[in-house]
């Protein structure tokens, strides 16, 4: 299963659209994960229209778009917990890892956004992924996203820049 991981699109407040190369990856994916901060109902609708299947959560700039703060999905034998990671940068990894453990245990993969910084790290035994900002919204210095292949309990990740 091919998965596109995006976050922090911030459309329209900080960007006008997701870059075309990223749109192509999103449209080609079997499943799309968005870790919050769409910034508008229009941005959510746009991503929904591109995605074959979508798992998405709200971020701190998404108070009225009707998404939960956490979501869990099974992809290719991998349990993925999605949250935005809202809060101070200090303690971010602890906060996200604790949410993953609460929702699905330490064997799950956590996907979060909020910092606009790409991350693929293990923290307290939990793998944490942050695809950065798909539009390069500040404080990011460039648009980034991740793709993953989920198969037989493995989650192989690649980072992409636009």
Mean pLDDT, the chain, as a whole number? 97
Prediction pTM value = 0.97
Domain count, the chain: 1
Half-sphere exposure of 49 (CA within 13 A, CB side): 8
Q: How far apart are CA 5 and CA 129, in angstroms?
A: 9
pLDDT band at 64 (very low <50, low <70, confident <90, very high): confident
Q: How far apart are CA 115 and CA 113, in angstroms?
A: 6
The pLDDT of residue 63: 80
In terms of residue numbers, what domain contains 75? 2-161
**Please, are residues 25 and 145 in contact by the beta-carbon 8 Å criterion?**
yes
CATH number assigned to the domain comprising residue 95: 3.60.21.10
> 36-63, pLDDT tens digit by residue?
999 999 999 999 999 999 999 999 999 8
> 2-28, pLDDT tens digit by residue?
999 999 999 999 999 999 999 999 999
């Amino acid at each position: 299963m091919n998965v596109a991981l995006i976050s922090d699109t911030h459309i329209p407040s900080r960007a006008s659209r997701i870059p075309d190369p990223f749109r192509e990856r999103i449209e080609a994916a079997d499943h799309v994960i968005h870790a919050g901060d769409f910034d508008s109902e229009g941005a959510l609708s746009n991503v929904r229209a591109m995605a074959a299947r979508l798992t998405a959560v709200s971020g701190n700039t998404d108070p009225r778009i009707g998404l939960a703060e956490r979501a869990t999905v099974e992809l290719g034998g991998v349990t993925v917990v999605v949250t935005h990671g809202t809060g101070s940068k200090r303690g971010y990894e602890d906060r996200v890892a604790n949410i993953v453990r609460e929702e699905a245990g330490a064997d799950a993969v956590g996907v979060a956004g909020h910092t606009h910084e790409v991350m693929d790290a293990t923290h307290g035994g939990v793998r944490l992924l942050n695809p950065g900002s798909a539009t390069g919204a500040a404080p990011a210095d460039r648009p980034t996203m991740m793709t993953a292949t989920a198969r037989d309990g493995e989650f192989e990740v690649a980072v992409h820049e636009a």
